[in-house]
């Protein structure tokens, strides 16, 4: 039996209309899952769902503001109404704006970064995790960042939020075990539409060649294998884990 066969499973992916989230959506769909695509722009979610449906797969689109507790409640209700619940939750939505300095970081920016990267993960994991436990099992994968291990001064709120997300992984793994597994993937530098301006810059590429064991940033498709592993039967004895997918960034100089 193929351990990555997700036929009959329902997966929810936040931030699923672009970047790493889109690659995760496509990978889960190819593995047979019905995918609920959620992100801030409903039209972008509609486009991704249409792509999956045109390939003979199953999908639904959901407009979703990750900074809103009420939107977390609404997303859970919509997925429950449409699919009867979820077997997989991938908390991928995030934002990483950089302020000139900590002193110049506004309260509004700080609160937004914490809400999108941490509060939404807590609320969605609480809702879907309890639902999964009552249904007999499921998997939650939180997308963190290698920056939670190697923070830099210019994005302290983001790194702190992602470090908090790692703690939520450990907490929910205990709360929802043994039937629900909860794990973290920690990406390092990746080329996406939001990051390519710096990840493909001459300065970064030169730095990567000197300091990263693999000498480069990752391609979005390279995140999918880690997520598929963690939601598959191959990871049946894996929970509360933090898996780095960072080209060696966490061990680089």
Catalytic residues: 158
| Torsion on CA atoms 13, 15, 20, 21, rounded to nearest 10 | 20
Backbone conformation region of residue 115, classed left if phi is above 0, alpha if psi is from -120 to 50, else beta: alpha
Q: How many angstroms separate the first and last alpha carbons of the chain?
A: 42
Q: Among 102, 107, 118, which Cα is nearest to 155's?
A: 102
Pairing state between β 88-91 and 138-143: parallel
Task: Report the C-alpha gap between 119 and 87 in whole angstroms.
Answer: 21
Q: What's the burial of 20, exposed, middle or buried (CB within 10 Å: 0-12/13-18/19+)?
A: buried
**135: Cβ–Cβ under 8 A, 6 or more apart, which residues?**
85, 87
Calpha distance 173→160 (Å, rounded): 20
CA distance 8 to 84: 12
Instruction: Give the integer Cα–Cα distance in Å for 6 and 50.
Output: 20
Looking up tokens 């075990």 gives 177
Measured between alpha carbons, how far is 199 from 202 in angstroms, rounded to an integer? 9
DSSP tag of 185: E
């Amino acid at each position: 039996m193929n351990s990555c066969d997700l036929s009959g499973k329902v997966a929810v992916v936040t931030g699923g209309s672009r970047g790493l989230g889109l690659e995760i959506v496509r990978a889960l769909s190819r593995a047979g899952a019905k995918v609920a695509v959620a992100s801030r722009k409903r039209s972008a979610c509609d486009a991704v769902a249409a792509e999956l449906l045109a390939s003979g797969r199953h999908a639904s689109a959901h407009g979703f503001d990750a900074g809103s507790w009420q939107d977390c409640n609404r997303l859970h209700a919509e997925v429950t109404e449409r699919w009867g619940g979820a077997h997989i939750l991938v908390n991928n939505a995030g934002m990483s704006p950089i302020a000139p300095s900590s002193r110049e970081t506004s309260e509004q920016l700080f609160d937004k970064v914490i809400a999108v990267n941490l509060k939404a993960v807590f609320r969605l994991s609480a809702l879907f995790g309890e639902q999964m436990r009552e249904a007999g099992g499921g998997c939650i994968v939180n997308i963190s960042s290698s920056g939670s291990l190697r923070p830099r001064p210019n994005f302290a709120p983001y790194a702190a939020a992602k470090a908090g997300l790692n703690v939520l992984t450990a907490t929910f793994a205990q709360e929802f075990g043994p039937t629900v597994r909860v794990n973290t993937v920690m990406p390092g530098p990746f080329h996406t539409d939001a990051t390519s301006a710096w990840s493909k810059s001459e300065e970064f590429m030169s730095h990567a060649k000197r300091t990263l064991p693999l000498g480069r940033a990752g391609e979005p498709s390279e995140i999918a294998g880690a997520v598929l592993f963690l939601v598959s039967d191959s990871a049946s004895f894996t929970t509360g884990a933090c898996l780095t997918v960072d080209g060696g960034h966490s061990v680089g100089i």
